[in-house]
Amino acid sequence: MAALSAVAAVMALGLSGPPATAAEPPSVPRAKGAPSGISTLADGLTTPWGISFLRGHKAALVTERDTAVVWKITLDGAKQNVGTVPNAVWSEETQDKGGLLGVAVSPTWNGTTDQDVFFMETTLEDNRVVKMKFDGTRLSGYTPVLTGITRDNQHNGGKIAFGPDGYLYVTTGDASQKKLAQDKTSLNGKILRITKNGAAAPGNPFGTRVYSYGHRNPQGLAWDSAGQLWSTEIGAEAWDELNLVEPGGNYGWPTCEGSCSVAGMTNPKMVWDPDEGGVPAQIAVVDDVVYASTLSGRRLWRIPIDATGEDVGPATAHYNGAYGRLRALAKVPGADQLWLGTSDRGEEDDLILKVTVEE
């Protein structure tokens, strides 16, 4: 019933939500994880897509989708262009879209003996995960580690993140070819789990790179305190999803969008109507509260994981429409804070916002 109540809460908020310019619904009580402050950390950006912290170094790498530029941004908001990732394509004219997507810094990066940073990009040939070196100041080198993921101008997935197990998780879209999502031999429509060399990680459910399947366009990856993986996914017309991802799980696409009762397919823990505050992009977890940024929804959702640890309670929406489309999202290591990026603001700069949440 928890899932149903979460759905009901979402629908209620969507239907009776505050005006698009309200900074925060007045009815939201102060609660664990409620956003309590927001400020601009950095400006002058163009569609930031990914954020990955250089742990212990008071800074993060931030990717720009359209320009393939990578910024180093410090906790104080100082911003430095550290280079570009080769071969990423983004063209409105030719509709070669995808661009530079996610970034993941090696968990043991120190700038000297470990300089590895990873990116996912859409090239003219494929979607791929690549490795570059970062010495703290400049990017160099370019080594593709996983190529041949079918490219698309829309459903590219693109999030990459190191899990608590030290392996790299990668979301891939179905490339607008629905059948690929159920094809366990395809890299598309999946969450992959790979080594730093792009090989299948040890212990994967099918002995391949596939960790879970039946995804349409998964975007967010984050782990809770129990080490469980959560992921947001953009659906078609009906429902977007928040999933609790188990190894080997089949998340339904294209047979199911949102919840259904097909044997062997795993239902989402929460769904959004894309027209009612949905189209979730990325997620972050702080103290077992999941936060989800939304694109057309233009709001930040706060979704508490409930006492069972396997379901979520009622969700609340914040900053409805105040900053435009919201995409890049990451927890700041060691703080009850999020970095949240605006997206696609055109003539207006995009921002990285700093959000503080209640302990």
For residue 35, give both structure tokens.
């956003």
Alpha helix positions (H), the chain: 2-16
Q: Considering the complex, what minimum distance in angstroms separates the CB of residue 300 from Ca ion?
A: 22
Q: Considering the complex, what minimum distance in angstroms separates the CB of residue 113 from Ca ion?
A: 41
The distance from CA 71 to its chain's CA centroid, rounded to whole angstroms, is: 18
Applying CB under 5 A, does 251 fall inside the site for Ca ion? yes
Q: In the complex with Ca ion, which residue's Cβ is closer, 252 or 313? A: 252
Give the whole-angstrom CA distance, residue 47 versus residue 56: 26
* Binding window for Ca ion (CB under 5 A); candidates: 139-147, 220-228, 245-253, 332-340: 245-253
Check the CA dihedral 329-267-206-310 and report its sign: positive
* Binding window for Ca ion (CB under 5 A); candidates: 7-15, 177-185, 249-257, 309-317: 249-257
Give the whole-angstrom CA distance, residue 292 versus residue 288: 13
In the complex, residue closest to Ca ion by CB: 252
**60-79 residues near Ca ion, rule: CB under 5 A:** none
Applying CB under 5 A, does 90 fall inside the site for Ca ion? no
Q: Considering the complex, what minimum distance in angstroms separates the CB of residue 283 from Ca ion?
A: 15
Q: In the complex with Ca ion, which residue's Cβ is closer, 169 or 251? A: 251
Dump the DSSP string for 294-340.
ESTT-SEEEEEB-TTSSSB---EEESTTTSSEEEEEEEPTTSSEEEE
Q: In the complex with Ca ion, which residue's Cβ is closer, 31 or 260? A: 260
Which residues are within 8 A (CB) of 171 and not within 5 positions of it... i.e. 6 or more apart?
Answer: 102, 157, 158, 159, 160, 190, 191, 192, 215, 218, 219, 220, 221, 231
Q: In the complex with Ca ion, which residue's Cβ is closer, 252 or 278? A: 252
* Binding window for Ca ion (CB under 5 A); candidates: 98-106, 179-187, 250-258, 272-280: 250-258
Torsion of CA 211, 333, 292, 306, to 10 degrees: 80
Q: Considering the complex, what minimum distance in angstroms separates the CB of residue 241 from Ca ion?
A: 5
Chosen residue from 158, 220, 252, 278 binding Ca ion by CB under 5 A: 252
Torsion of CA 5, 6, 11, 17, to 10 degrees: 120
For Ca ion, what does the binding mask look like between residues 185 and 224, x meaning CB under 5 A? Answer: ----------------------------------------
Q: In the complex with Ca ion, which residue's Cβ is closer, 155 or 331? A: 155
Q: In the complex with Ca ion, which residue's Cβ is closer, 129 or 290? A: 290
By CB under 5 A, how many residues form the interface with Ca ion? 2
Q: Considering the complex, what minimum distance in angstroms separates the CB of residue 253 from Ca ion?
A: 5
Q: In the complex with Ca ion, which residue's Cβ is closer, 71 or 251? A: 251
φ, ψ for residue 340 (rounded to 5)?
-135, 125
For residue 261, give both structure tokens.
């009762």
* Binding window for Ca ion (CB under 5 A); candidates: 51-59, 115-123, 177-185, 252-260: 252-260
Q: Considering the complex, what minimum distance in angstroms separates the CB of residue 252 from Ca ion?
A: 4
DSSP-assigned beta bridge partners for residue 305? 312
Secondary structure (3-state) at 201:
coil
Q: Considering the complex, what minimum distance in angstroms separates the CB of residue 267 from Ca ion?
A: 7
SS percent in the chain: helix, strand, coil, step 5? 5, 40, 50
Chain positions contacting Ca ion, by CB under 5 A: 251-252
